[in-house]
Amino acid sequence: MRKLLLAVAAAAILVAPAVAQAQSPIVIKFSHVVANDTPKGKGALKFKELAEKYTDGKVKIEVYPNSTLYKDKEEIEALQLGAVQMLAPSTAKFAPLGIKEFEALDLPWLFKDDITYSNAMKGTVGKWLFQKLETKGITGLAYWDNGFHMLSANRPLMKPADFQGLKFRISGSKIADQYFRILGSIPQIMAFSEVYQALQTGVVDGCENTASNYLTQKFYEVQKDITVSYHAHLQYAVIVNSKFWSGLPPDIRTQLEKAMVDATEYTNQIAHQENEDALAEIKKTGKTKLHYLTDADRKAWQEAMQPTYKWAKGRVGQEVLDLVAKELDVKMN
């Protein structure tokens, strides 16, 4: 933390770079925690390419993947304090800021497919959630898709009873914490960069993540069984330090907004195929066995996890649940 604070002090002048250094490129540090060869990683590199192109080199985007700059527990504080300008955390990461409403997106079996998710985030739900960030000095720019979660352990997970007593890594969402507890397992919050070793050493028994993350982080090497459950969705919010963003020259900001729109379209288009390709690659390795839920299995999971919806009211509030229910035409209780 001390190192972070020192970095923030040194970086404070970057908050209004347009005024201070008109002749030099404006540097935007874009930090994230996954590999370059994932939907988010490729999206960040696409944004870099387009932003530098659209601004004729007046902006330089420095992308820091794989937690090389900050771990996911540190990065939002770094953004607020000006040590980094742009992030793309999973939406579950906003609860520690006091914005628990984002966790409504983590409800199990909420989005029936990628199109349903995309429409919701482009609509009332996504805009309403971004407004919540403004009070924290954060501006939301876009939502990036990373598809649906799978579940893994060193035994097949087919019935709700199979979860009993197992320790699962979660990113921090209390909604995820709740549905794992309902299934009789023990959720543990852990930084993404620490998951492989934790799985390898048995600190946790399993985890949930998308196929692209299972492949690029090599989680499949240390998990004997993966259930292609697609029980919950993983999405990222691309965010920027509000003071930095508002301090940019209007013409530069307009070009960056265009770059973000185009990079978002690219990222969300490739997310589904990237996960399908990753799943095929994992299968090809032969190091882990893939399991698929039957209709009966899926129904049993849905019924077992359903109490999460009632519990969520006390966690995220009725207002966001009503918005989500209306947008998706789903029942919350």
pLDDT band at 263 (very low <50, low <70, confident <90, very high): very high
- Cβ contacts of 239 within 8 Å, gap of 6 or more: 79, 86, 87, 88, 89, 133, 138, 139, 140, 141
Q: Measuring CA to CA, which residue among 81, 70, 61, 80 is closest to residue 10? A: 81
Q: Give the largest Cα separation in the chain, rounded.
A: 64
Using alpha carbons only, give the angle 93, 85, 56 rounded to the nearest 5 degrees. 135
Q: What is the pLDDT of residue 4?
A: 56
pLDDT tens sequence across 196-246:
999 999 999 999 999 999 999 999 999 999 999 999 999 999 999 999 999
pLDDT band at 2 (very low <50, low <70, confident <90, very high): very low
Q: What is the pLDDT of residue 22?
A: 52
Q: Which DSSP category does 68 fall into? A: S
Round to whole Å and give the CA distance between 33 and 191.
9
Q: What is the pLDDT of residue 72?
A: 84
Averaged over 19-48, what is the pLDDT?
A: 88
Residue type, 260: M
pLDDT tens sequence across 67-109:
999 988 899 999 999 999 999 999 999 999 999 999 999 999 9
